[in-house]
Amino acid sequence: MSKRKDLSTTHCVVEQEGKTLIVTLSRPEAKNALSGPMLLGMYRAWRELDKNDELICAILTGQGDTFCSGKDLKKGINESGPKTRSFSA
Q: What is the pLDDT of residue 28?
A: 97
Residue in 24, 23, 7 with CA at minimum distance from that of residue 58: 23
Class (C level, CATH) for 3-71: alpha beta
pLDDT of residue 88: 53
CB atoms under 10 Å from CB of 39, counted, come to 17
The answer to whether the pTM exceeds 0.85 is: no
Interval 16-21 mean pLDDT: 96
User: How confident is the model over 51-80, as a mean pLDDT?
Assistant: 87
Tell me the CA distances in angstroms from 23 to 3, 10, 44, 45, 58, one per residue in order.
12, 13, 10, 7, 7
Q: Using pLDDT thresholds of 50, 70 and 90, give the confidence band for residue 89.
A: very low
- The Cα–Cα gap between 18 and 8 comes to 17
- Are residues 40 and 86 in contact, defined by beta-carbon separation less than 8 angstroms? yes
- For the chain, give every domain's residue range: 3-71
